Chains A and B, each alone.
Chain A
């Protein structure tokens, strides 16, 4: 897990020190030699192969990789929504068996219960955990207040915007006080402005509570902006390519998205996720398509 040379010069002693301290924290989530195959028409297709990774307490980890690298499957395996073929997933040193409230999950599709009001949605996990209705209601309202949705406590999900729905989904998972929060491309359906706002929200919440976040995304900027470390997977089969420590100070500066270390990290990740050869093949496909399309002679040249 050495810092790659192109990022070394941005890793100041303070950042280096913080990264090292993270690795000395107790382990929150420990993935050991994880294998997973899916069966398609009788043939096994290997999705994940020999994944080893450890997330430490209160760490923010993002997972990136080309499409088909099994990053969503990884989150679903940790959540217990898929069965493990080989290897193990340990939470606080104990092997996980099936889904449980210690691993909360936020989905891209929000998956709020449409027949429940916002308040009832947030109360759901609390009541399932054995809390009394009254106590659950008090806690739920506090969470709703925290994300500024107090006016919508009695609204149904279909009356909320995408960003608001995702905030409810996040606090519904957090109210349950999981040790790890799994997020499977939670902001992919939001417009860029809302997405940035939600990212800031999430960092704010994460800083203030005892939670480890395991965040799946295909947006490299999002991964750099949010995480302490980035787990880069490669596809076919999904394997760990590299784990990158983000050379940016916390809390993130307002102009961090345009700072040099940010852009350097992005370029580096880009080279890991989309190797150069792949791009050329893409371009050739497109060029041959262009030749098939007649050009409107009224506008002979767009340049």
Chain B
């Protein structure tokens, strides 16, 4: 049984059984978490710092502060040299600790809850859920406009060679321009609030989208187009009745992938103009050294992405029952 499983894992391009799928999916998350736990909870794997529990007369040690292990040992040695017979209670004491920027798993788990319940420092600042909602709106609008213009252009370029030649060379050039580089320009044109952020998401996804949609459209089996031609279908009707429905499952998959890209542009977009959304929350919390909250916020972004994608994948299977591929 176990051997059969192993053989299946090591044979190229063979589908897995259900147990293996569950096991490996679990391991895919469990392994990184395990590494994190080991680094956090097992002393001396890393723990480069010492958390002071008793200053022991060292002038700049305070209870609860973190110092480098080397510094702590030098101070300890100094004390021992001055008075070799000093009782243990009077010496500086501390426990090995990790740097403040690597909180332990349980701290981050708690932060998942407390980050939402901690009121903002100032009354005019948003709560975490408000920041998140703001981020989601920025993504949604940026992505909506990218789809609104990108899909029609991509489908045209994929259908007609002339449209492809007109649209794609410039798009190909423009997609190499880094979206964040347009930040200052976007602010100058669109102001400091949400519009420039939406523009950055748009620039980051639109050009890629045109090219990907064009490639997807070109991949549609030419025989379907030819069959529809011999059945008396042409022009705009063919795009509506044959090309669009034909590429829809692949188009849907493309949009899922591109939506992931939109999230990666979010952080840059939100730093432009007035910082806002989840990025504002993260930078703010980092400033207060609440790194557990920072981790929680980053993981929340990941979870939102993963869950949306899973929902969309499920929905895709429902929407396109004829589609056998992924």
Contacts and interface: CB of A to CB of B under 8 A. Distances in A.
Interface string B231-252: 1111001000110011010000
- Most A CB contacts (10 A, CB to CB) among B226, B232, B323 go to B232
Contact of B245 (A101, A113, A129, A158): A113
A69 B232 CA distance: 28
A184 to B, nearest CB: 10
Nearest to B245: A115
Nearest to A115: B245
A124 B322 contact: no
A142 to B, nearest CB: 18
A114 interface: yes
Interface in A76-135: 79-81, 98-101, 103-105, 107, 109, 111-116, 124-125, 128-129
B59 interface: no
B221 interface: yes
A238 interface: no
A117 to B, nearest CB: 9
A212 interface: no
Contacts, number: 77
Contacts of B320: 115
Contact of B230 (A99, A109, A157, A158): A99
A101 B231 contact: yes
Interface residues of A, number: 30
Contacts of A158: 322, 324
A73 to B, nearest CB: 13
A115 B322 contact: yes
Contact of B248 (A79, A115, A124, A172): A115
B231 A172 contact: yes
A231 interface: no
A156 B245 CA distance: 14
B162 to A, nearest CB: 16
B231 A111 contact: no
B227 interface: yes
Nearest to A182: B230
A107 B232 contact: no
Given A113-B242, A115-B320, A128 B227 contact: no
A162 B236 CA distance: 31
A163 B9 CA distance: 37
Contacts of B246: 113-115
B232 A157 contact: no
A128 B233 contact: yes
B15 interface: no
A258 B320 CA distance: 48
B322 A114 contact: yes
Nearest to B231: A125
Given A115-B245, A115-B248, A115-B320, A80 B229 contact: yes
B227 A107 contact: yes
Contact of A173 (B226, B231, B322, B324): B231
B189 interface: no
Given A107-B223, A109-B223, A113-B224, A99 B229 contact: yes
B232 to A, nearest CB: 3
B230 A79 contact: yes
A176 interface: yes
Interface string A133-173: 00000000000000000000000111000000000010011
A25 B170 CA distance: 58
A189 to B, nearest CB: 13
B169 interface: no
Contacts of A124: 228, 231, 233, 241
A157 B229 CA distance: 19
B321 interface: yes
Contacts of B237: 128
Given A115-B246, A115-B322, A176 B224 contact: no
A104 B231 contact: yes
- Most B CB contacts (10 A, CB to CB) among A114, A116, A158 go to A114
Contacts of B324: 158
A117 B26 CA distance: 39
A113 B231 CA distance: 12
Contacts of A111: 221, 223-224, 226-227
A140 B248 CA distance: 25
- Most B CB contacts (10 A, CB to CB) among A103, A128, A172 go to A128
Interface in B275-326: 320-324
A99 B235 CA distance: 12
A39 B321 CA distance: 40
- Most A CB contacts (10 A, CB to CB) among B230, B233, B242, B323 go to B230
Contacts of B242: 113
Interface of B: 221, 223-224, 226-234, 237, 241-242, 245-246, 248, 320-324
13 contacts: A79-B229, A80-B230, A81-B229, A99-B226, A101-B231, A104-B230, A104-B231, A111-B223, A113-B242, A115-B246, A124-B231, A124-B233, A182-B230
Interchain residue pairs A-B with the least CB separation, the first 8: A101-B232, A125-B231, A111-B223, A99-B229, A105-B230, A111-B227, A156-B322, A128-B233
Given A101-B231, A103-B230, A113-B228, 6 more contacts: A99-B226, A107-B223, A107-B227, A115-B246, A125-B231, A157-B322
